[in-house]
């Protein structure tokens, strides 16, 4: 299972929110590169980078942060937040993203998102499927749709999607454990899916359980920043 630390960006700074609420913003480091280098020094290979300014603005904003991290580290970066157009996508890949995550665009403009999958391939384009009360939420989680998450994922798997990052918004930033039931439900419907868990990871035991569920990866944010999980523990895991 891939271990994927997360950096969320507002104004170029490394922050974390709770349940996607911007009013709960907590700054952990003014220098996102310093954080990324700590991850790399600990032997981690991946990074989940989220442009929270972009998610709110509905277009890519912090591409220079992406570029800096891609140039100054060897981390494989999956990037999301505010990617709504072909131009946003081009900027993200040219700035060094290894993979792109599309969430709101997949829900609101499936024709464009599907064209990205066709053009760039399923190794490059990941589906963001974030749930609030079992329904897809978009626009930085500020807007809830009527689309059931399992069916939403199934429809995109039929179009070729392999990788899905899924967050249960109620769990995000709360350090109360991931949504094991949600992931179990998704994998029951789509057994071969490369599913990446996000939100709620608070301990190594959580990672052991997710691995037992045969998830592709687990994204970890606040648990690292709050000292609940040490980078040395992740290296051993």
CA 100, CA 88: separation in Å to the nearest integer?
10
Tell me the sheet residues that pair with 43. Answer: none
Which residue, chain included where needed, has tokens 């990871």? Answer: 201
- Could you say which of 8, 51, 78, 168 is catalytic? 8
Sequence-ordered list of residues with C-beta below 8 angstroms from that of 200, at least 6 positions apart, any chain: 168, 171, 172, 174, 175, 176, 177, 178, 179, 206
Query: How many angstroms separate the most distant Cα atoms in the chain?
Result: 43
Q: Indicate the SS3 state at residue 96.
A: coil
- Could you say which of 78, 88, 130, 168 is catalytic? 130
DSSP symbol at 231: H
53, two tokens: 């300014």
Told to judge if 130 belongs to the known catalytic residues of this protein, a careful annotator would answer yes
Cα 183 to Cα 54, 130, 165, 213: the distances in Å are 27, 11, 10, 8
Q: Indicate the SS3 state at residue 32.
A: helix
> Annotated active-site positions, please?
8, 130
């Amino acid at each position: 299972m891939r271990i994927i630390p997360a950096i969320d960006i507002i104004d170029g700074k490394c922050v974390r929110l709770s349940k996607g609420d911007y009013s709960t913003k907590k700054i952990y480091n003014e220098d996102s590169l310093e954080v990324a280098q700590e991850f790399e020094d600990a032997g981690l290979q991946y990074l989940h980078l989220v442009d929270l300014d972009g998610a709110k603005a509905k277009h890519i904003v912090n591409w220079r942060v992406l570029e800096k991290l891609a140039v100054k580290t060897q981390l494989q970066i999956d990037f999301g937040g505010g990617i709504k157009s072909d131009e946003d996508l081009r900027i993200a890949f040219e700035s060094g993203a290894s993979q792109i995550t599309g969430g709101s665009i997949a829900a609101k403009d499936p024709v464009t998102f599907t064209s990205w999958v066709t053009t760039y391939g399923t190794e490059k384009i990941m589906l963001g499927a974030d749930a609030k009360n079992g329904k897809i939420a978009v626009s930085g989680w500020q807007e809830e749709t009527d689309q059931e998450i399992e069916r939403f994922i199934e429809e995109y798997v039929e179009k070729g999607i392999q990788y899905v990052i899924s967050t249960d918004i109620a769990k995000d930033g709360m350090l109360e454990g991931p949504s094991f039931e949600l992931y179990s439900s998704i994998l029951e419907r789509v057994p071969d899916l490369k599913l990446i868990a996000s939100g709620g990871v608070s301990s190594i035991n959580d990672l052991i359980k997710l691995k037992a569920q045969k998830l592709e990866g687990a994204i970890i944010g606040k648990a690292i920043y709050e000292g609940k999980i040490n980078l040395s523990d992740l290296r051993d895991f």
